[in-house]
Amino acid sequence: MRKLFKGILNFLSFIPCIRKYHKEWKLFGRVPFGLLHISWMHRKIRGINRGVKFPLHFTSRIIAPKNLKIHKDATTIGSFAMSGGCYFQALNGIEIGENFLFAPGVKLISSNHDFHDKSKIAEASPIKIGSNVWLGANVVILPGVEIGNNVIVGAGAVVTKSFSDNVIIGGNPAKIIKENKPDTE
């Protein structure tokens, strides 16, 4: 079976997207090939999320992908490919560290409307998310929030302010539920 699969991949390697995915297979090892194919079709053929340079679940949207800075590791790319119904609005920028894991329905919103003119975007600091962060289902992160390293955000949390490293947060608005002290030897 493995030889057959490799043979099919080698045969299809003339298609640029398949060749690219085959070279970077370590990034997509946990993502079903069908999802990679559907992601490619939505971006390249239908034009949905066309500016996104990595697999994205076909029900998710990224606004201003050029302002989204991510670390391309297997966990982060796998979350983007498999977590549906997500919305990343990066008009003021979103910066994400490595090993970023998130569940379906996550919303990262980096800007608001201007108070006096709804057609303008209010300036704000970018959203910054550290390394080894896990966002539960339906988490909403609002403009200017900075989340430190090794943070878990509980499902349904609305994060309106910044949090430091090694905490578990949750609620609406989000608050610290537990502090995780790193192991010191």
* Residues known to be catalytic: 113
- According to DSSP, residue 122 is labeled P
Widest CA span in the chain: 63
* Strand ranges (E), 57-97: 61-63, 68-69, 87-89, 94-96
Bridge partners of 121, per DSSP, are 113
Residue type, 173: P
Residue type, 13: S
DSSP 43-57: IIIS-TTTT--S---
Evaluate whether 74 touches 54 at the Cβ level (below 8 Å): no
- Tracing tokens 């990262």 back to the chain, one arrives at 108
Give me the sheet containing 107-109, strands edge to edge: 61-63, 87-89, 107-109, 140-141, 158-159
